[in-house]
Every structure is written in C-alpha cells, then in structure tokens.
Amino acid sequence: MSFFKSLFFQIIVAVVIGIGAGILWPDFGAMLQPLGTGFIKLIKMLIAPLIFFVVVAGIAKAGDLKAVGRIGLKAIIWFEIATTVALVLGLAAAKWLRPGAGMNIDVSTLDPNAVAAKTGGAELPHTVDFILNMIPTSAVDAFAQNALLQVLLLACLFGTALAASDHALKHNVLTLVDQIMELIFRVVGYIMKLAPIGAFGAIAYTVGAYGTSTLASYGMLIIACYVSALLFLLSLGLAAWWITGMNMIQFIRYTRSEIMLAIGTASSEVVMPRMMDKLTRAGCNRAVVGLVVPTGYSFNLDGASIYLSLATVFLAQAVGIDLTLTQEITILAVLMLSSKGMAGVPGSAFLALSATAAALNAFPVAVVALLLGADRFMDTMRVFTNLMGNCVAAFVVARWEGMLDTERMKTVLSGQISDTDLIDPAQPTASSNPLSPADEIAAAYARTPLPEPRPGSI
C-alpha cells in the first residue's frame, strides 16, 4: 500500500488540518465536535460484542479453566505493579519540577460548583458498589450500557459452559462464533474509513473550544505530565523487552495508525478492536488478549495514574501548601483505590482528585477547578500511555503463561510480514476476490513461513 494512501498518513493530515481549523476559526472548530463523537460511538457500539465473542472463543478453545484463572490473577498483579509505578513517577515529577509553585491561588476566587458541573453530579463507586456493578441486571443491559466488565463476566460464564459442553455442540457454536468475529472485523474495516474525519472533528473541537492560551498558563504542568509519561514509557519498554523480548519502538511503528487515531480522538477505546486483532497477529494468544485488554481499561489506567498523582501535588503547590511524607503516602493509597473505578464514569479524573483532596484535608476540594481548562491538553499523554500499558500487559501475561509466540512476535514487529494500515475487506486483490481480515492475515503468514506454535498453546 502506498504511504500516501495509508490510514496513518490520512489521520496525520486530518489532525494537522483540524489543528489549523481550530486555531484560525475557533468557533467553527468547536462546532465540529459531532464528527469526532459520532465516529467514537460507531466504534464503541462494536466493542462489547467483540469482547464477548473473543473471550467466549478463547475460553472454550482453551478447555483448561485453571489457565483462565491464572491469566486473570497474573493480569491483576501486573496491573497493580504498573499503576503503582505510574503513581510514584507522577508524584516524583511534581516534586522535582514543581509546576504549581509561585501561583499563589486565592481559594476564595474559585467556583466550588465548577467541578460538580463538569462531572454532572456523578460519583466514583465504593468498593462494594464497584464489585456489585460488575454483575449486570440482565444480559441485554450489559451490552446496552457498554459495561465492559459486565460483558467480560458474561463471556467468562458462557465460555466456561461451552468448554464443558459435548464436542458436537462446542464445534458448532465455535464455528458460528468465529464467523461472527470475522463479520465484526469486517464492519470495523468499513467504519475505519471514516477515521480521518473523526480525528479531524475531534482535534478541531479541542483546539477551537479550549484555545492555545491555556498552554502558556499551565505550561509547566503540561511539561511535567509529558516528562513523567515519557519516563514511565521508557521503564515500560525496558520491562517489556526484559520479560518478553518485545521491542517497544517496533511495536509503536506496527500500531502507528491506531496510536494516531487514539490521540486524535482522545479515546483509547476507539482502537480497541484493531489493537486486539494486531496483538493476536503479533503472537499473543487470543484468549489472553480477550481477558487482559478489556480488564485493563478498568484496572490498568497508567496514564491516568500519572496524571492524578501529579495533579494532586500541583494543586497543593498552587495554593502554597508543602505536603508532608505522610500526606504523599496518603495520596498514593487513595489514588490506588479510586483510580480503579474510573472507567465509564463522567469526569472520573476530577472525581478521583476531589476524593483525594477530601482525604488529605489539606486544601479545599474547590481547588480542583484549577484543572478544568488544562485537563484536555493532557489527554494525549493519558490516552497513549493507557494504550501502551494495556498492550504491554497482554504481552507480559501471555509470556508468563507460555502463550506468547516470541518468534512470530519478532517477525511481525520487525516488518518481515507486510502489514497494511487498514485491512479493507472490500478492496479487491490481484485475483479480484475480496479477502476477509482472517484471510488477509493467513495469506500474510503463508507468504512468510513462521515457526509452528509450541504444543499445548491455546
């Protein structure tokens, strides 16, 4: 595929044009929000069914239910390690760069209702509520609400039941599930044609609605945010290389189109279907990908963790408060809990910051309103870091379980298998027959022979 026809190039052009439109015609740029919102909704409508069928197929084909439990446990362990490192890095960056020092904000000038208006009165769920919310009221409700943890629970139950079924039933259902997954990826291919339009509308709205003056006012905070994220990604890349042999630079090149789309739309969920497909193509077992990636969207928000600890210290500095070691430990403890219930809650970052401020009792909750203008400009860091964190988690857990084909991973990431930026099921091939995503992948592997998977892998 020509570079100029690739999805990667199209999205870059769309983002640049969107930035220009937002700067030159801010009112017009702000009106383009529906383009980005509409595209995100088109992708999100497919996420729940895709996760359901991927996990059902993975568990049923595995047969070993103990392996499924091990995957879940190891994923949670990795999530806790990664988010703790992210929280500590964010706090350390704030103490080192001191982005809020010298601001001397008068708390009385802040609107105490501004944060409530931003969050729409929503609240982070308590521990018991969070666990109960994982159980859907009905199977239909889980899909209607796009509640990923609820869909994951249903998928685990159905996959377990299918794994215990007789061979004939299992074979027939799995055949149907595989066909449905192929159909879903075909629909994703059609929707991805609109990706440049969605990225254009989303970035034009951001620049037009929020302007560039915020960059000057909160420049040091934004710099601290990106510096801490860079340090985290370097650490993550080293850990991934040490555990799995994965080259992070090669992986970023391999997923460059998805990364640009996620950044342009400020949503990592919008690329979840394609990321899951690419992780599987790169040697990760499909069952591991199906369990780890969706769970990570609730339990492994590394970028959000960096932002939350950094922002909390920034707020204290902005009102002239030097935090003690005890208060810093309190920040880490509160955020380790509150960050786990953020997914799907409107304004969740502000709710987590408000909860942390209340626990510290060092400055008024109204101070959180200082971040309302700057928050949007740190979305890029959060989205990219969250996305990379969940992808690395899939590689690591697959490696721990012996379900990572490292030879295939290295071959795919090094580019020895040609990778199209967009698998287009409607694009005719040399023989004028359209290829499905599954056929395209199989054809690529056929052109470049790879080592056979190890016996016993799912």
Confidence of residue 253 (pLDDT cuts 50, 70, 90): very high
How far is CA 441 from each of CA 91, 192, 211, 261, 422, rounded to the nearest angstrom? 43, 18, 43, 22, 12
Q: What is the mean pLDDT of the segment spanning 177-204?
A: 86
Please state the length of the chain. Answer: 458
Q: What is the mean pLDDT of the segment spanning 406-430?
A: 63
Confidence of residue 443 (pLDDT cuts 50, 70, 90): very low
Residue 203 has pLDDT above 80, yes or no: yes
Residue 421 has pLDDT above 50, yes or no: no
Beta strands in 107-256 (DSSP E): none
Determine the Cα angle at 342 with ends 56 and 86, to 5°: 100
pLDDT at 434: 39
pTM: 0.75
How many Cβ atoms are within 10 Å of 141's Cβ, its own excluded? 11
Burial class (CB in 10 A: 0-12, 13-18, 19+), 322: exposed
pLDDT at 37: 85
Backbone angles phi, psi at 164, to 5 degrees: -90, 0
Q: Give the whole-angstrom CA distance, residue 458 versus residue 65.
A: 12
Q: Which residues pair with 404 in a beta bridge?
A: 284
Q: Give the whole-angstrom CA distance, residue 32 versus residue 286.
A: 37
| Domains parsed from the chain with CATH numbers | 3-447 (1.10.3860.10)
Residue 114 has pLDDT above 60, yes or no: no
pLDDT at 398: 93
Q: Tell me if residue 415 falls in helix, strand or coil.
A: coil
Q: What is the mean pLDDT of the segment spanning 347-357?
A: 72
375 DSSP assignment: G
Q: What is the mean pLDDT of the segment spanning 357-368?
A: 73
Residue 3 has pLDDT above 60, yes or no: yes
User: Helix crossing, 148-163 with 33-62: angle to 10°?
Assistant: 20
Confidence of residue 445 (pLDDT cuts 50, 70, 90): very low
For residue 370, give the nearest of 309, 318, 438 by alpha carbon. 318
Q: What is the mean pLDDT of the segment spanning 231-260?
A: 93
pLDDT at 90: 92
Confidence of residue 347 (pLDDT cuts 50, 70, 90): low
Q: What is the mean pLDDT of the segment spanning 409-416?
A: 88
Confidence of residue 327 (pLDDT cuts 50, 70, 90): confident
Helices (H) and strands (E) in the chain, counts: 22, 0
Determine the Cα angle at 29 with ends 23 and 35, to 5°: 140
Q: Give the whole-angstrom CA distance, residue 172 versus residue 174.
A: 6
- Percent of the chain clearing pLDDT 90 (strictly above): 19
Residue 423 has pLDDT above 60, yes or no: no
Q: What pLDDT, in 10s, does the model give residues 118-162?
A: 555 555 556 677 677 778 888 888 888 877 788 888 988 888 888
Name the range with the highest mean pLDDT among 40-44, 337-341, 375-379, 423-427: 40-44
pLDDT at 435: 39
Cα dihedral 389, 92, 94, 334 sign: positive
